[in-house]
Homo-oligomer: A and B are copies of this chain.
Amino acid sequence: MTAPNRATLWGETLAEELLAAGVTGVCLAPGSRSTPLTTAFAARDDVEVFSHLDERSAAFFALGRSRRLGEPTALVCTSGTAAANFHPAVIEANQSRVPLIVLTADRPSELQDSGANQTIDQEKLYGDAVRWYRTLPEPKPESRALRSLRVSACRAVERAAGTPPGPVHLNVPFAKPLEPTEVEDDIPETLDADAPLGSTGRDGPFVRLSQGRPTLDSTTLDRLAADLSGIDRGLLVAGPANAPTPARESLAALAEATGWPVLADPLSGHRFGHEPHSHAQICGGYDSYLDAAGDWPDPEVVLRFGASPTSKVMRQYLRDHAAQQFVVDPAGGWREAEFTATDLITADPTWLAERLATRLDSPRADGWLARFRTAEQEHWNHVTDAVDTEHFEGAVLSTVARGAPDPATIMVSNSMPVRDLDRFGEPRGADLTVLGNRGASGIDGITSTALGAGSATDDPLVLVLGDLAFYHDMNGLLAVQRCGVDATIVLLNNDGGGIFHMLPIEEFDPPFTEHFKTPHGIDFEPVGDLYGLEYAVLDDLEGFETAYRESLGSAGTQILEVRFDAEQSHRVRERLHDQVCGAVE
């Protein structure tokens, strides 16, 4: 490697090593201090480079790409508040276990706390939200320093992709010159910058990683198998997927072995998909009918995978009715906020599900699964009727899931869309990768996350989000053009925070309308012109279905806006819930 000065050499080495260690994409936000990194990444042809103007959106885009791929995306910004704009996405990445390598350029040490421009305290900027943090040394054209840099790059990838995966923060100070201008004698002639790689050069990273996953010893495994065997009434719960998550085959095998219902969160990776899951066991309507299941016999045992389920009804049902709850978390995250789990299993979910599948012996009390089957049928029949007769967001989510091509990637925003998909998205034998930001469940960065996910796949991309989420990350739409990602964007516009109708504050107006519901009255249609996207306002579900189908069949990005009255929609949901509960009691 030859470089005109030490900053250039440092940036090139760091970029080279990150790519050698497995990074395949980087999001760059413009700035001066990050010049050596930007220049290094931009010069490579073995990395996908995404250029962003708003760092907040950039970080969520990187998060979305990493989430979809399951591998770390790098993220580069200049010094100053640019780095703080990454903070929301770093927190989401931490909580939903998405690998990210955050590279914040910094000014050299002597300028810290001196009143120098664009110089802020970037040390531990993200607190405990990162798996690993280092302020790197300033560029040094020395063999040992360059080896340390390569090791830091490998460590960053190792920690980002570890158990659990998550964000890593490297703070990278640079002194001028930042550009690839020749600086005489800056790099000693005796320095062989490639020397750290050994005389034979290398093919692969400086340090090869062999990362283990937690497994149980056979005694513990046998004890667990014994605990879970001979159970009449068991439940498998697949919460929102976080890496590492149980492979479809392994959970399907376990479901097959036990014959238990699988309550599959829409974000779990198990509600939608082809075989091997038997669709007789996959349940998706629980948020509607579990309220009525209190009169059924209680489950004897629940085995939970993934993060805390989206459905509050399900969480409360488990709290009140499950005598024994086994929570599987390879990272020992204790993610069970009702505090009724009785067993924590720190083991790789795929490994565990495979092992248990071959060891469990379940009596298959048919009545148990049958109850769920009947309830599911009742629920989906009612949903089908409601979709035909009612104008509410749930009908759109139902249509989105039923009408999505196979395969497709679908991103849903927090607040109501993910809840509506949970309740109205019927299990289906199609390869739908459904994503949501359920780590911190913010309404920020949704569009960027979706487009980042879209950049990582050839699947058609569908994004469903509410108007507040759409407004919050409008800037994210620039990635359609700049990063060449197409999407079908379904905007559910109920003019404010529809979810607040679900809360007791609805009864107190003021301040309900002005400060909770917060209607904004924005007509979003000019957003189409602003970003060069097709924009359609659909009046009814029929119109939406047609437009949705057309959008999926055509190139480019279409925004399909459907308007709702949040209060009326909430009443439809309540009515439907009561009907289903009444029918299954």
Interface residues of A in 508-560 (CB under 8 A from B): 508, 510-511, 514-518, 520-531
User: What are the residues of chain B within 8 A of A529 when measuring CB–CB?
Assistant: 523, 525-526, 529
Do B116 and A30 have beta carbons less than 8 Å apart? no
Is A181's CB within 8 Å of the partner chain B? Answer: yes
Question: Does A87 touch B at the CB level, under 8 Å?
Answer: yes
* Chain B residue nearest to A107 in the complex (CB): B337
Asked if B117 contacts A95 (CB within 8 A), the reply is no
With A and B bound together, what is the CA distance between A119 and B524 in angstroms? 31
CB proximity to B under 8 Å, residues A10-39? 28, 30, 32, 35, 38-39
CB pair B508 A53 closer than 8 Å: no
Which residues of B sit under 8 angstroms from A124, Cβ to Cβ? 127
12 contacts between A and B (CB under 8 A): A30-B518, A32-B503, A42-B515, A53-B468, A54-B472, A56-B85, A115-B335, A117-B337, A118-B441, A121-B127, A482-B520, A523-B529
A115-B336, A307-B115, A524-B530 are known contacts. Are A84 and B80 too (CB-CB below 8 A)? no
The chain B residue with its CB closest to the CB of A442 is: B81
Interface size class of A (residues with CB under 8 A): 35 or more
Q: Given A42-B511, A53-B520, does the pair A121, B129 have CB atoms closer than 8 Å?
A: yes
Task: Give me the interface of A with B, judged by CB distance under 8 Å.
Answer: 28, 30, 32, 35, 38-39, 42-43, 49, 51, 53-56, 80-82, 84-85, 87-88, 90-92, 95, 110-111, 113-121, 124-125, 127-129, 177-181, 307-308, 333-337, 339, 438, 440-442, 444-445, 468, 471-472, 474-475, 478, 481-482, 496-497, 500, 503-505, 507-508, 510-511, 514-518, 520-531
Q: CB < 8 Å: which of B82, B118, B514, B528 contacts A51?
A: B514
Q: How far is the CA of A243 from the CA of B524 in the complex (A)?
A: 40
Chain B's closest residue to A89 (CB) is: B81
Q: Are B504 and A177 in contact (CB under 8 A)?
A: yes
Q: Which of these, B336, B481, B507, B518, contacts A114 with CB under 8 Å? A: B336
Q: Measured between C-beta atoms, what is the minimum distance from A107 to chain B in Å?
A: 9
CB distance from A530 to the nearest CB of B (A): 4
Give the oligomeric copy count. Answer: 2
In the complex, chain B residues whose CB is within 8 Å of the CB of A515 = 28, 30, 38-39, 42, 49, 51
Residue from B80, B129, B511, B517 within 8 A of A442 (CB atoms) = B80
Which B residues are CB-close (under 8 A) to A528? 526
Residues of chain B within 8 A (CB-CB) of A474 are 474-475
Residue pair B82, A32 in contact (C-beta under 8 Å): no
Look across to chain B and name the residue whose beta carbon is closest to the beta carbon of A80. Answer: B440
Closest to A76 in B: B515
Bound-state CA distance A531–B471 (Å) is 12
Q: Is the CB of B81 within 8 A of A114?
A: no
Kindly provide the distance from the CB of A449 to the nearest chain B CB, expressed in whole angstroms: 12
Which residues of B sit under 8 angstroms from A523, Cβ to Cβ?
Answer: 529-530
> Given A114-B335, A511-B39 in contact, is the A81-B85 Cβ separation under 8 Å?
no
* Contact yes or no, A80 B441, CB < 8 A: yes
